[in-house]
Structure formats: structure tokens, C-alpha cells
Amino acid sequence: MRVGVFGGGQLGRMMALAGYPFNLRFSFYDALPDCPSAPLGDLYGDESGSPESLDAFLASADVFTYEFENISTAWVERIARHKPVYPGVRSLAVSQNRLNEKALFDRLSIPAAPWRRIDSLEALQQAVAELGMPLVIKTVTGGYDGKGQFVIRSTDDIARAWTDLGAACPLLAEAFVRFQRELSIVAVRGQDGEIRCYPPAWNVHHQGILSHSVVPAPDISEASARQADAYIRAILEDLQHVGVMTLEMFDTGSGLVANETAPRVHNSGHWSIEGAICSQFENHIRAVAGLPLGSTDPLRPSAMINIIGRHPETAAILAIPETHLHLYGKTERPGRKLGHITVTAPTHIQLMDRIKVIAAVLPNRMAL
């Protein structure tokens, strides 16, 4: 079977690495000839997204998927008229539009921050009056790693927020959630409707970018773990999603509050490559190819640490016990995800000690 992937970044690269042992072959749709996935399959695409490039991509594979959600639904719909695309267009349309996403949470009775649609400066001022401050303003599409966001903390910030983001209307305004920590849960749904969930991850961010994830999330209550499981199952079933999906949440101490979804493999699930019986990448490819799902059980406490901006010394990382290095073939640039490190340990305490050792040898110190 040939699998076509919209996007040629590191997620597509790791999908292909997981799928080649099944004798699957891959093609990628990306305008950049030096994208991380380029060495692992045929590359199609151009900057304009021309019909000719899409037709060539369509002919290159039997089934299609995507590695990021900021792509044209029209492109996916065009492919879907001829061949299977997993996840479906409905999952893409929800996850790439924050207003659709909030409406889904409301419809499924999944707790989320109170929100308003913003179409004008007057609507923004009204949202501040109704929801209070701090108030988080987000672009409806296209934002990631803290981009496309503004936090209004005083009335003086209202005009600045509008100046920065107003041209991208409509916008989303949501009340600031006071949380103890950020969590996520990664799950996979097969073509037959079977759902398997990985343990919730504790996520730590630094300057808007994920620094590291620890799994299972330390000290998570059984009630919160069940809550996370129920939320993502409800979303997967409602959307009839096929493949991996991720739900990011806030742990408020009195319950979980949904933040956003990703209809794909996710940075906070990279730990599963060495830390679970079957990784998120393998399970996504299994689902897309119509194969039975693998076990999502963790092997032992695990962590994923992002490599941001500058490469570490390979030997220094590999000298740390139970540590694995995954580089994406990217050039160095401030704020750029160049790779990640996975590490396992017998206990959470030993895991946290190993994370500190890794942090000490990274060129850019991570947030601990």
C-alpha cells in the first residue's frame, strides 16, 4: 500500500519510519524540497498548490493522511472525491478552526473556557466587559506554538490586541483559565471504530513552545484520567475520526478544561516511540492503512524533551542511560524544533533526575 501525506515535516517523517516495516511506501505533499520527510519518499507540491501538483500527488498513493492541520480543506476534499483520506475532512475542519472547535466542546458538554466570537473592536470591548481579564485573544486559524495570540491584562491592552490581530477577524476571545498544569491525551481510532488511549501527559511550555512532556502525568488522579479518556472518546466518536487525535487540557485542580484538539500525531506523544508498546506514529499508520491497532500501554515512565534552536552534542545525549536522540534534519534557527529526546526510567523520580541531566547538556536550557 502507498500512503500519501499532506506535509513533509518531522511528523510525516516519523510516520514513514513507523510504516516502512509494514512494507508501506510513502509520498509527501510539500513545497520545500529539503523538508524533513524528503529522504523517505517521493515529494510533490509547489508554492501555489497547483491542480497539476495535486493530481500528481493523487496518483502517487492509495490512501492519504496529513501531518498538520493548517492545510486547505479544498485540497483534502479534492483528494477525498477519488481516494480515502484519514482523518476525514470533518476532523480537519474542526481542529483548524477554533470557533468550530469551541462549538464542538459545547455540543458534547466538554468543559472549556467561556468564549466569544470577535468581529469588531466593539465586540472585543464587550467581550472584555463580559468575560473579564485576563482575556486571551486568538486567531481562528493558523496559530501554533504561541503564535497568533494576545493576552489582554488591562484596558490599555485592548487597542494593542486589536491592532495586532484585528486584521485576522473573526477572532476568538476566551476567558483565562487559572490552572495548575497543562495536560494532553493522545488516542487513536481505527476504521472499525476501535479506540485506544495513551496515558495523559504532563506538558511544560517555555516561551510558548512545548519544552517537555512526562508520561504518565505524575500524581494525576484516577478521576482526572477517566475524564480525559471520556472527553477524547466522545470527540473521536462524534467526528468518526480515523487515526490519531490529541486533546490538550488544563488541570484546574477541580477538573479538566479542554483547550484545543489536533487531528494528528502530536509533539506530546513522541515519548511513545520508545516508551509505549506501540507508538502514536505506528498506530496512526495502522489506522490509516486499515490494520489492527496496537497496544497503547506504556512500558515505563517516559519523557519527551524538545530540542529547540540549536543542536546538542550527540555523544553527550547518548551517554545518558535509556536516552534516545531523534533529529529531524533541519538547520539551526532560534525557536525552531530541530529534534527531540526520549528518555525512560524505572520510576518517576529517576525519570525527573535524568531529565535534569539532559537539560544540563542542551545548548538552550529547557524550562524545569
CA distance 158 to 308: 32
Q: Which residues of 270-309 are buried (b: 16+ CB within 10 A; e: fewer)?
A: bbbbbbbebbbbbbbbbbbbebebbebebebbbbbbbbbb
**What is the per-residue pLDDT for 146?**
61
**What is the per-residue pLDDT for 143?**
65
| Secondary structure of residue 49 in the 3-state scheme | coil
**If you average pLDDT over residues 218-227, what whole number do you get?**
96
**If you average pLDDT over residues 311-319, what whole number do you get?**
97
DSSP readout, 230-299? HHHHHHHHHHT--EEEEEEEEE-SSSEEEEEEESS--GGGTTHHHHBSS-HHHHHHHHHTTPPPPP--BS
Element (H, E) at 65: strand 63-66
Residue for grid cell 513507523: 18
Residues forming a β-bridge with 298: 276
Dihedral over alpha carbons 57, 61, 67, 70 (to 10 degrees): 40
CA distance 287 to 266: 16
Residue 288: name the closest of 57, 81, 85 by CA: 85
For residues 67 and 9, is the Cβ–Cβ distance under 8 A? yes
Report in angstroms the alpha-carbon separations of 109 from 102, 105, 119, 231, 367: 10, 6, 25, 9, 34
For the chain, give the percent of residues with pLDDT over 70. Answer: 98
Q: Residue 367 above 80 pLDDT?
A: no
For residues 46 and 56, is the Cβ–Cβ distance under 8 A? no
> For residue range 233-244, what is the model confidence (pLDDT) as tens digits?
999 999 999 999
| Greater pLDDT, 192 or 78 | 192
Q: Residue 3 above 70 pLDDT?
A: yes
**What is the per-residue pLDDT for 48?**
82
pLDDT band at 17 (very low <50, low <70, confident <90, very high): very high
Q: Torsion-angle region of residue 45: left (phi > 0), alpha (psi -120 to 50) or beta?
A: left
Nine-digit cell string for 330:
533541519
DSSP readout, 122-136? HHHHHHHHHH-SSEE
Q: Residue 365 above 70 pLDDT?
A: no
Residue for grid cell 524533513: 36
At residue 282, φ and ψ (nearest 5 deg) are -65, -45
Q: Residue 40 above 60 pLDDT?
A: yes
At residue 270, φ and ψ (nearest 5 deg) are -65, -25
Q: Residue 368 above 80 pLDDT?
A: no
Close Cβ partners of 52 (under 8 Å, ≥ 6 residues apart) = none
As separate numbers, helices (DSSP H) first and strands (DSSP E) second, the chain gives 12, 17
Residue for grid cell 542511560: 321
Strands 2-6 and 63-66: parallel
Q: Residue 175 above 70 pLDDT?
A: yes
- Which amino acid is present at 130? E
**What is the per-residue pLDDT for 141?**
87
Hey, what domains does the chain have and what are their CATH numbers? 2-85 (3.40.50.20), 114-175 (3.30.1490.20), 181-361 (3.30.470.20)
Distance of CA 200 to the CA centre of its chain: 14
**If you average pLDDT over residues 219-236, what whole number do you get?**
97
Q: Residue 228 above 60 pLDDT?
A: yes
Nine-digit cell string for 291:
490494520
> For residue range 41-95, what is the model confidence (pLDDT) as tens digits?
999 998 888 899 999 999 999 999 999 888 888 888 989 999 999 999 999 999 9
Residues forming a β-bridge with 206: 209
Residues forming a β-bridge with 201: 184
> For residue range 117-161, what is the model confidence (pLDDT) as tens digits?
999 999 999 999 999 999 999 999 876 656 789 999 999 999 999
